[in-house]
Structure formats: C-alpha cells, structure tokens
Copies of this chain bind each other. A is one copy, B any other.
Amino acid sequence: MKKLVIFGVGLIGGSVALALKKRPDAPSIVGVGRNIDSLQQAKDLGVIDAMETNIHAACSDADLILIAAPVAQTKAILQSIKPHLTANTVITDAGSTKSDVLAAAREVLGDQFCQFVGGHPIAGAEKSGVTAAQADLYINKNVVLTPTTETNQDAASRVAKLWCDCGARVSEMPAETHDGIFAAVSHLPHLLAFALVNEIANRPNAAQLFSFAASGFRDFTRIAGSHPEMWRDIALANKTALLNELTAYEQQISHLKQLLANEDGKGLEALFQTASIARNNWARTQ
C-alpha cells in the first residue's frame, strides 16, 4: 500500500495513521475532512503527511480509503468518492453498526460494492479528536470485518492487513451477526445507562439523589455521558437488534420483580451469583 486516504482524522483515523507511521512500510497518509483547522492540526502534529480538500486529487491514486468520520456522514462520503474510484481502490469504514453501512455502500457503489469492506474497531475511548490519537490504541483490540459473499477477497485481505499492522486482532463475521453482538454488549448497556440517568434527572429530588450517588453509580453511568447525537445514530442504525435486546431485558426485569415480590431469596441469590461469576470470569480475561 502506497497511499492511504483517511476521511475524518480524529481519534479513530488518527490512531490508525500513527500506528502505521511506526512501520518501515508506512504508506503516504492523506487526510480529508470537513474541518480545515482540524486537518491542519493533524498535519502539524505529524499524524498525516498531507491534507487534501479536492476529493478527486485525494482518491484517484489511493490504494485504500478509510472512512472514520461520524457514521451519519458515511453515505455522503461514499457518494462524494464514487466518481473517483479506480478498479483497484479498496474502501473501508470504522462505524459501530454494519448492516446499515453495507446497505448504503451497496446502494451508492453499485458494481464497485465488491471493493468495500465494512469494519469496526472496538477501541472506544472517552476522549475524541486528533489530539487524543495514539499509535498503540489498537494493540490487542478487536477489529471486526464484515465482508459479504460479493466482497473481493483481495480487498478483504488488504483491510485485514491494515488493522493487523495496527496491532489489532481481526475477525470476520456477517454484518447481522456483528450488529446482534454489539446490540447486546454495547448498544443495550448504553441505552440502559442513559435511561437510568434520565429517570433520576427528571425527578423533583434529582439534586438530592445525585448528591448520594457513589462509585457504583459512577461506573454504571459512565457511558451515559456519551455523545447524544452519535448514540442516536447508532440506536437508529441498529434498531431491530436493539429492540430485541430491550425486549429480552424487559423480561429480565419482570423476572427480578417477581422474585422480589415473592421474597424469593434463593432465586435472587442464584441470579446474582450467575451474573457475579460470569462478570468476574470475564474480567479475568481482560
């Protein structure tokens, strides 16, 4: 790979650039984005080699295009690059949901959909922006790729190599499987945390309640401090899987209420114990 173009040089895109720059085979890295000041900062920090505002100039000789902008922009970016792709350009993204991205890519790219490989690096961080980018962000982190039966095998291999070069553990699965997994282990917890804080914040005694919240509340609700617009987009993009998760969770709550109403100490303890053992076993693998 001689030239990598990154749309959106923030935490995610910037960290890819920094990781690759540590390698002897580092490509030329060109940043594209809506915010010129932010691109200039990326260039000044040495995260990218060049910035480009002309989409044709950026894309025409690119080997790989990584879309790492907010997911709501993905379709518009695909539309903007479509006229400038060659038969050898590979395109990938870094969005948190994959079925919707594949649908948009299929619609926009048409015959060239085979050159697109959906991707999702699992490397959340509380900070954002290029100043938060770090070369080791992806080391030993999971990256899920969602090639389809139509996807060019060479394209999938080149995207896998990109993330391997960043130190990540790459796995492949269908987009629907990906979206189901992340609905359960990421999107649902986010909605549950938002719901709890929303419930408390809307009560007349909210100030009193918050004043007695302690470390358990702090950790449980950390993800409720996440970006509202980003999570609106993720929730809508993964609507079906997320509705299924919310329904399954309602059944858990209903079951808990029943155990509690019946003062079923054994049942409560068994449920808490299953969870506690599973959580602590999981934590040991991290």
A273 touches B243 (CB 8 A): no
Q: Which B residues are CB-close (under 8 A) to A257?
A: 243, 246-247
- Chain A, range 215-262, C-beta contacts under 8 Å to B: 215-229, 231-232, 235-236, 239, 242-243, 246-250, 252-254, 256-257, 260-261
Instruction: Report the bound CA distance from A211 to B142 in whole Å.
Output: 9
User: Chain A at the B interface: mostly helix, strand, loop or mixed?
Assistant: helix
A219 touches B219 (CB 8 A): yes
Instruction: Report the bound CA distance from A268 to B242 in whole Å.
Output: 13
A268-286 vs B, CB cutoff 8 Å, 1 = contact: the mask equals 1101111110111011011
B231 touches A124 (CB 8 A): no
Q: Separation in Å of the A266 CB from the closest CB of chain B? A: 8
A274 touches B202 (CB 8 A): yes
Q: Is A132 an interface residue (CB 8 A)?
A: no
B232 touches A198 (CB 8 A): no
B195 touches A216 (CB 8 A): no
Instruction: Report the bound CA distance from A142 to B212 in whole Å.
Output: 7
Q: Which B residues are CB-close (under 8 A) to A272?
A: 194, 226, 228, 231-232
- Using A186-B216, A218-B286 as known contacts, list a sample of 6 further A-B pairs with CB atoms less than 8 Å apart, ordered by residue number in A: A185-B214, A189-B220, A194-B276, A195-B275, A202-B274, A232-B268
**A residues engaging B (CB < 8 A)?**
122-125, 141-142, 144, 181-182, 184-186, 188-203, 205-206, 208-229, 231-232, 235-236, 239, 242-243, 246-250, 252-254, 256-257, 260-261, 263, 265, 268-269, 271-276, 278-280, 282-283, 285-286
